[in-house]
Amino acid sequence: MRIFSPLYDRALRWAAHRHAVPYLGGLSFAEASFFPVPPDVMLAPMVLARRDRAWFFATVATLGSAFGGILGYVIGMFFFDAVEPLLHQWGYWDTYLQVRDWFSEWGIWMVFLAGFTPIPYKVFTIAAGTAAMSFVPFVFASIIGRGARFFLVTALIHRGGDKMQAALRRHIDTLGWICVVLAVAAYFYLR
């Protein structure tokens, strides 16, 4: 089933838009606190389209995500009662409970590692607020963890260049389904 190709084509159109940078920042912000689509879907095509601005794009994604993480933290700390039904509705409740348990065991390391997991980052930011994690270490861990992810993605895409773009175009649907399968497998494994 070819559902990822049209999404990829749309992301390429967004990447070429004159407001692509604010869109990337906004998507990064939203994904860290409430929106389900990861910013990588815009970051990768933007880097492919404008390799001369690759590191700037990674910085925008990192800062947008860090500020979005702060909003997620505030939501968890002050508005969790309003968000809890949404966590149930979107199927994140069990994941949230697991992440909350991880926070009690590993603390700030969970925020740092969250940037690389298939579990949506917003679950970690909201759980950090709910757990009343120390704010300044939370922000630093968010910047480092998310930055490491976005700069790694940027470095891989930047280095791959035109060959990467052609390969990604050919295999986007396969890669999309592999990511879905890995996310589902990780969910059941971590559960």
Within a 10 A sphere around the Cβ of 80, how many other Cβ atoms? 15
DSSP assignment, residue 18?
T
Domain that holds residue 37: 4-190
Number of domains in the chain: 1
Mean predicted confidence (pLDDT) in 15-43: 85
**Is 52:104 a contact under the CB 8 Å cutoff?**
no
Which contacts qualify for 1-5: CB closer than 8 Å, 24 or more apart?
1/173, 1/177, 2/173, 3/173, 3/176, 4/172, 4/173, 4/175, 4/176, 4/177, 5/172, 5/173
Distance between terminal CA atoms of the chain? 28
pLDDT band at 1 (very low <50, low <70, confident <90, very high): low
Calpha distance 111→118 (Å, rounded): 13
Residue 136 has what pLDDT?
A: 94
- Whether the pLDDT of residue 190 is over 60: the answer is no
Q: Which of 11-20, 120-129, 139-148 comes out lowest in average pLDDT?
A: 11-20
Q: Which of 35-49, 67-81, 108-122, 176-190 comes out lowest in average pLDDT?
A: 176-190
